[in-house]
Structure 1
Amino acid sequence: MTDMYTMVKRAKADPEVLNELIQLFEPKVNKLMKRTNPNDMADLSQELKIMLIQSAYQYDLNSVPGFWEFKDKYKKEES
């Protein structure tokens, strides 16, 4: 399985990878659909997938912190 960072990076370059990304989240979307009104399921599912696609395209891959930045931020939040 590919990590999320790599999938998003590939999805920005190749729209076909978006299908893989959507399929990855499909079980979670389906689980959430069980909590909704049956009349709204299709619309809500489509909206969630649109939001997933938008998030993938808008995500700034260069802003991902390195290990040490993450560690320092976590340490500051603990204090």
Structure 2
Amino acid sequence: MTDMYTIVKRAKVDPEMLMELIKLFEPKVNKLMNRTNPNDRTDLSQELKIMLIESAYQYDLESIPGFWEFKDKYTS
């Protein structure tokens, strides 16, 4: 299996990899949908997938923080 960094990097230019990214998160999305109103599940699932796609396109892979920057950001 390919790591998340590679999937997101390739998903930015390859629609097939974007589908792989969505498939990767689909079990989690489906699990979350079980906690919602059955009438809202389809719309919410679609919105979560749209947010995932937008996040993949907007994520700057070149500015990934190192361990210490990450630690400082979340322990301050």
Q: TM-score, normalization: structure 1? A: 0.85
Which aligned pairs between 1:28-67 and structure 2 lie closer than 5 A? Answer: 28-65=28-65
- The structure with higher relative contact order (CA 8 Å, sep 6+) is 1
1:35-76 CA-to-partner distances (Å, cap 9, x unmatched) read: 0000000000000000000000000011113xxx31x23378
Identity across matched positions, percent: 76
Q: Give the residue type in structure 2 aligned to 1:10.
A: R
Q: How many pairs were matched up?
A: 75
Instruction: Please identify the structure whose Cα radius of gyration is greater.
Output: 1
Give, in angstroms, the shift of residue 77 of structure 1: 6.3
Aligned match of 1:11? 11
Unaligned runs of 5+ in 1: none
Deviation at 1:16, TM superposition (A): 1.3
- CA change 1:42–1:12 in 2 (3 A) is same
Question: What letter is aligned with 1:19?
Answer: M
* TM-score, reference length from structure 2: 0.88
Residues 61, 41 of structure 1: alpha-carbon distance in 2 compared, 3 angstrom cutoff: same
Aligned CA-pair RMSD:
1.8
